[in-house]
Amino acid sequence: MNKLSLLLYRLGVHAYFLAAKFWAFFNTKAKKFVEGRTDIFETITTSLQSEKRKRIWMHCASLGEFEQGRPVLESFQKARPDCAIVLTFFSPSGFEAFHGSDVADYIFYLPKDTPANAKLFLQLVKPEQALFVKYDLWFFYLSELKKQKIPSVLFSAVFHKYQNFFKWYGGLQRKMLKNFSQIFVQDEDSLELLNTIGLFHVQVSGDTRYDRVLDVSNQHYDNEIIRHFMADKHLIVAGSTWPSDWKLIEEAFPKLREKYNLIVAPHELSEDVDDLLPFSLLPFSQTYSNYDFKKSKDVLVLNTLHQLNKVYRYAAFTYVGGGFEKSGVHNVLEPVVYGKLVFIGSRYQEYREAVQLVKNGAAISVINGEQLYKKITQFESQSEDRETLENKAKAIVMTNAGATQKVVDYLLSNASFTKRSNS
């Protein structure tokens, strides 16, 4: 790492926040990003001023990362009820979803990463331990944690050789990883990659999302609205969908509606699907259990939080969106834990669980609506093959469970938790 890299990093962070202030005039999400950090340190001070318990800090980029970290957080809370949990988010999607909920004792936006902010944040929060989920690493926060000898752990991380960590110019990113007390990765490939850059405070634990989806699938859930909506048809659930996914749905569903009803869950709840899907739409939040769907709406729009991962259990077939976006497909484990075949777009190669499911035939990549229609009709006539693949999908989830316990055991072991990297 050199001074130029650090300067560029600081300028990049500063530029990002300046851009957010500009876009806040035009974009609701950017506005929440900015307004949520207004007087943030005053908010933190006021919130924590009477808190006497030891504090554990967990940071997540957004909603998806929190769902990944949630099993660790909940297990840790059960083991250490004497500790207060401070949860931070970088993105509004996470903060808005859980602000005011009981998932943590305190929930804040993470202040901008500067040396002064990092020092003040840790001075106010006073965490005994710091946990980071998968990624969203911030140089000055991690440096200050190291400086103050506060144990820090990264878990459910996954690495690829094309990332900056493994490039000649990635010294600053490598330094971030060296500042962690311990790193838990999803697979052996990630461990080997980190070893090549001299990082050995690493352990393979797996992905905590497997534990999360298993936990959700075991929870009782019965929804009269959805059962009434299904009527005498089967159900297709299309979750975490983007406009690029809606084009595919628009092409496929008219050919399927004789046998199937459709639930669509937008990736962003603020997205207006009415102008983009040429169907009669009904928001889930405005329905009631005896609503006469047959006289009115064709498609139910799931526009409520914390429902999708439970609703998948009702589906005959599922579609998970994001597979036509740069960021890639969303959480395919949420439907397959119920033994559901899942269809996805073409961008899934960076996600280990999606690659494994596609390889085993339990997830099917499609490139357009016509292909989706043909695949669904194909599986209708091949019930035995479909059942075999669905059982294989659920078995993959069961086989990969257990990462949470490995991480929590480590956190609760004082001797190992406080051990530092020599880097």
**Partners of 317 in the beta sheet?**
236
Q: What are phi and psi of 89, to 5 degrees?
A: -130, 150
The answer as to whether 340 is a domain residue is yes
| pLDDT tens per residue, range 36-62 | 999 999 999 999 999 999 999 999 999
Read off the tokens for 298. Answer: 């064709």
Rg (CA), the chain: 23
Q: Is 339 within a domain?
A: yes
Return d(Cα 202, Cα 9) in angstroms, integer: 25
Task: Indicate the residue type of 422.
Answer: N
Asked whether residue 226 falls in the same domain as residue 155, the answer is no
Say which amino acid occupies 224.
Answer: E
Q: Which residues pair with 46 in a beta bridge?
A: none
Q: How far is the CA of 249 from the CAs of 138, 244, 276, 279, in angstroms? A: 38, 9, 10, 10
For 264, the 3-state DSSP assignment is strand
Across-strand partners of 84? 55
Three-state SS letters, 171-218: HHHHHHHHCCCEEEECCHHHHHHHHHCCCCCEEECCCCHHHHHHHHHC
Any domain includes 281:
yes
What's the CATH code of the domain at 287? 3.40.50.2000
In this structure, is residue 295 part of a structural domain? yes
Instruction: Give the mean pLDDT of 156-172.
Output: 95
The confidence score (pLDDT) of residue 1 equals 62
Cα 27 to its chain centre, rounded Å, is 22
Q: Could you tell me if 129 and 25 lie in one domain? A: yes
Query: Which residues, 6+ apart, have CB-to-CB distance to 147 below 8 Å?
Result: none
CA distance 319 to 314: 13
Indicate whether 70 and 199 sit together in one domain. Answer: yes
Do 150 and 38 have their domain in common?
yes
**Percentage of the chain exceeding pLDDT 70:** 95
Residue-level pLDDT at 282: 82
Instruction: Clarify whether residues 104 and 127 are in a common domain.
Output: yes
Angle at 313 between CA 308 and CA 315, to 5 degrees: 95
In a domain? residue 382: yes
Residue 419: pLDDT above 60? no
Residue 394 and residue 406 in one domain: no
The verdict on 8 and 35 lying in the same domain is: yes
Tokens of 420: 């530092």
Looking at the domain assignment, is residue 422 inside a domain?
Answer: no
pLDDT confidence tier of residue 315, bands split at 50, 70 and 90? very high
DSSP assignment string, 66-116: HHHHHHHHHHHHHH-TTEEEEEEESSHHHHHHHTTSSSSSEEEEPPP--HH
pLDDT by residue (tens digit) across 218-267? 999 999 999 989 888 999 999 999 999 999 999 999 999 999 999 999 98
Q: What is the pLDDT of residue 296?
A: 63
Query: How is residue 79 written in tokens?
Result: 């083991």
What pLDDT was estimated at residue 421? Answer: 39
Burial 28-57 (b: 16+ CB within 10 A, else e): ebbbbbbebbeebeeebeebbeeeeeebbb
Q: What is the pLDDT of residue 283?
A: 85
| Domain match, 44 and 192 both | yes
> Domains in the chain: how many in total?
2
pLDDT at 418 over 60: no
In the three-class reduction of DSSP (H, G, I as helix; E, B as strand; rest coil), residue 410 is classed as helix
Task: Please report whether residue 211 resides in a domain.
Answer: no
Q: Are residues 225 and 104 in the same domain?
A: no
Residue 270 is part of which domain span? 221-400
345 lies in the same domain as 357: yes
User: Mean pLDDT over all residues of the chain?
Assistant: 92
Residues 185 and 288 grouped into a single domain? no
Distances from the Cα of 164 to the Cαs of 168, 177, 423, in angstroms?
8, 12, 19
More confident residue, 119 or 421: 119
State whether residue 11 is helix, strand or coil: helix
Q: Which token pair is 381?
A: 């006539």
Could you tell me the pLDDT band of residue 417, with boundaries at 50, 70 and 90?
very low
Do 22 and 11 have their domain in common?
Answer: yes
CATH of residue 152: 3.40.50.11720
List all residues 6 or more positions away from 183 whose beta carbon is below 8 Å from its beta carbon: 153, 154, 155, 157, 177, 194, 199, 201, 202, 203
Report if residue 343 sits inside a domain.
Answer: yes
- Cβ–Cβ < 8 Å for 395, 361: no
